[in-house]
Amino acid sequence: MPIDISKFDKCNILVVGDLMLDEYLWGVVDRISPEAPVQVVSIKNEDYAIGGAGNVVNNIVALGAKVSAAGVIGTGRNGQLMLSKFNELGVDTAGIVQEPGRPTTQKTRIVASHQHVLRIDRETNKIISDPTLEKITRFIEDKIPDVDVVLISDYGKGLITKTLLSRLTSAAQKHKKITIADPKGLDFSKYSGVSIITPNKKEAALASGVEIADESTLLKAGNRILQNVGLDRLLITCGKDGMVLFEQNKEPYKVRAKARQVYDVSGAGDTVIAVFGLAKASGASFKNCVALANTAAGIVVGKVGTATVSKQELATALEPYEDSLSSKHKSLSELPTLVKELKKKGKRVVLTNGCFDLLHTGHIMLFSASKQLGDTLIVAIDDDDSVKEIKGPGRPVIGAKERVRILCALDSVDYVVVFSSNELKKLIEIIRPDVLAKGSNYTSEEVFGRELVEQLGGRVVLIPVTENISSTRIINNIKSSDTKA
């Protein structure tokens, strides 16, 4: 039975784990330091995100569920920044304890010229204090009766101890709640009593003492962990090779990954446990949970940095007979995330806009030439009301839905967005195009939004239009032919 992801909105998840602050510094390199043989990175912008167990929380929120978080942070600026970000997401933070004298785990990644140059970690692996342990475990025990699933995100930073896990699993078993852990370390025995753990292949090899080189050694490692730890279930994630679910007294269940371009695997494990947990909270079988988590992981590795998966991305990926072109169609609300991803990948974004009612060769030439000006072409089309206002009664001849499908079928077009003509300024501010392309039937001064594009660091390029052709002319010729007939 397929998973109904619309049920995610009704799920309530508890996430217990190591909370981190991810800092991204984006810059360029154009020289070597005179002080030492190292690159000099000129920082252009910075970005902060919640990572570790916080990224699990972020993934769940992005898919519409309610989340309560339990973990430990410091009392300084970074701790306050994390609490602020959680509050913006609407997360229940009553289980997050600020421990005096303990730093908030922070990972700073420096990215220059599309390359990950350096990572700086500021953290401690010291086990949490007894008062902190007591506060967090009491919160967990009080919260478990009201949640559907408990997710445990262990990054080995001193929170997920044997004592905490023992109290957590006891409470979960008492209230018949599923617990899912993303484990860390060589000794998985502390996870005994957890419903299922989700190590990656490297972690499974280290924990089992079996070097995983092929399918047979993978199966050997999985079965050894299952027996030694006393688990009912184990999911080993294998990157490009998919995932394998091990269950007591059952044949291993293998799911192959779909071939995708991989940009960044950081955070993929967070997405796996988040989506697996939501699927289980929605009543799915373990096998269906594995399939959905595998699909989600395939999507997130195509993004840069710790990223999330949207409902629309999951829905599109789950429909084998769905129009594959639908992934090109983006709503105005989806653009900020899309553009952020494109910029992180160093893509030059080209925007062109218009009615594009009754597509003709002039439009095709415009799209083809526009695409050559950058890496990604976004085509913004006026909605039906805007076309009618611009072109007059009887227009558009082809509705927005059909125009979107036609444009999405063109290889030169990467994304299509429908907008109202009075939203063009907002559209430009969101996309911040490197190039705004228009036909040369306009003058540069006539191009609406030119000044804004240039203020944002872009430029306007007029594409030569050599043929005397337009949608209006074609439509008038058809009308004239009908009249003569």
User: What is the per-residue pLDDT for 377?
Assistant: 96
Domain boundary among 261, 293, 322: 322
Same domain, yes or no: 356 and 410: yes
pLDDT (0 to 100) of residue 180: 97
| CATH for 476 | 3.40.50.620
Q: What would the mean pLDDT of 185-193 be, rounded to a whole number? A: 93
More confident residue, 33 or 305: 33
Tell me: the pLDDT tens digits for 18-52?
Answer: 999 999 898 888 899 999 999 999 988 888 889 99
Examine residue 128 and state whether it is found in any structural domain, yes or no: yes
Per DSSP (E only), the strands in 269-424 are: 349-354, 376-382, 415-419
The token pair at 113 is: 């010229």
Q: Give residue 303's pLDDT band: very low, low, confident or very high (50, 70, 90).
A: low
State the pLDDT confidence band at 322, using cuts at 50, 70 and 90.
very low
Asked, for residue 308, whether it belongs to a domain, the answer is yes
Name the one residue in this structure whose structure tokens are 């337009």: 470
User: What whole-number percentage of the chain has pLDDT above 70?
Assistant: 90
19 and 103 in contact (C-beta within 8 Å)?
A: no
Backbone angles phi, psi at 201, to 5 degrees: -65, -40
Beta bridge partners, 163, equal none
Angle 252-283-273 from CA coordinates, rounded to 5°: 60
Quickly state the pLDDT bin for 320 (edges 50, 70, 90).
Answer: low
416 and 316 inside one domain: no
Q: Residues 101-139: pLDDT tens digits?
A: 999 999 999 988 767 889 999 999 999 999 999 999 999
Asked if pLDDT for residue 57 goes beyond 50, the answer is yes
pLDDT score of 157 more than 50: yes
* Domain C-terminal end among 322, 353, 376: 322
State residue 305's pLDDT score: 56
Cα–Cα distance, 50 to 15 (Å, whole number): 13
**Domain containing residue 418:** 332-484
101 and 238 fall within a common domain: yes
Domain-embedded: residue 479:
yes
DSSP designation for 444? G
**CA 165, CA 159: separation in Å to the nearest integer?**
10
Residue 139 lies in a domain: yes
Tens-digit pLDDT profile for residues 355-392: 898 788 888 889 999 999 999 999 999 999 998 888 88
DSSP labels, 39-54: EEEEEEEEEEEEEEHH
**How would residue 475 be classed by pLDDT, with cut points 50, 70 and 90?**
low
Q: Is the dihedral of CA 82, 102, 143, 311 positive or negative?
A: positive
Average pLDDT estimate for 82-87:
96
Distances (CA, A) of 72 to 52, 79, 350: 12, 9, 44
pLDDT at 321 over 50: no
Rounded (10°) angle between helices 424-431 and 335-344: 30
In angstroms, what is the C-alpha Rg of the chain?
A: 26
Q: Residue 342: what pLDDT?
A: 86
Number of domains comprising the chain: 2
Q: Is residue 177 scored above 50 in pLDDT?
A: yes
Do 348 and 307 fall into the same domain? no
Mean pLDDT of 92-98: 97
- Residue 154's Cβ-count burial label (10 Å; 0-12, 13-18, 19+) is buried
Question: Are 413 and 290 in a shared domain?
Answer: no
Both 69 and 189 in one domain: the answer is yes
Buried b (16+ CB within 10 A) or exposed e, 70-95: bbbbbeeebbebbbebbeebebbbeb
Residue type, 397: V
Extended strands (E) in 415-485: 415-419, 435-439, 459-463
Q: Is residue 381 located within the same domain as residue 309?
A: no
Give the bridge partners for 350, in sequence order: 377, 435
- For residue 323, pLDDT over 60 is answered with no
Assign residue 435 a region: left if phi > 0, alpha if psi is -120 to 50, beta otherwise? beta
Name the residues annotated as catalytic. 270
pLDDT classification of 253: cutoffs 50, 70, 90: very high
Both 27 and 147 in a single domain? yes
Q: Is residue 327 part of a domain?
A: no
Q: What is the pLDDT of residue 318?
A: 74
Average confidence (pLDDT) over 177-186 = 95
Three-class secondary structure of residue 110 per DSSP = strand
Predicted confidence (pLDDT) per residue in 423-453, tens digit? 899 999 999 999 999 987 777 677 888 899 9
How far CA 468 is from CA of 269, 340, 367, 465, in Å, comes to 55, 38, 17, 8
Least confident of 124-138, 225-239, 306-320, 342-356: 306-320
Residues 317 and 430 in one domain: no
- Does one domain contain both 139 and 225? yes
Domain stops at, among 253, 287, 322: 322
356 & 223 share domain: no
Q: Does residue 70 lie in a domain region?
A: yes
Tens digits of residue pLDDT in 257-279: 764 554 445 568 899 999 999 99
Q: What is the mean pLDDT of the chain?
A: 88
pLDDT above 60: residue 15: yes
Say how many CA atoms lie within 13 Å of 83 toward its Cβ.
16
The pLDDT, as a whole number, for residue 223 is: 94
- Of 368, 357, 349, residue with least CA distance to 439: 368
Global pTM exceeds 0.75: no
DSSP conformation class of 14? E
Low-confidence winner among 203-207, 214-218, 331-335, 367-371 (lowest mean pLDDT):
331-335
Are 287 and 373 found together in one domain? Answer: no
pLDDT at 304: 56
| Bigger pLDDT: 221 vs 334 | 221
Do residues 387 and 357 make contact, with C-beta atoms less than 8 angstroms apart? yes
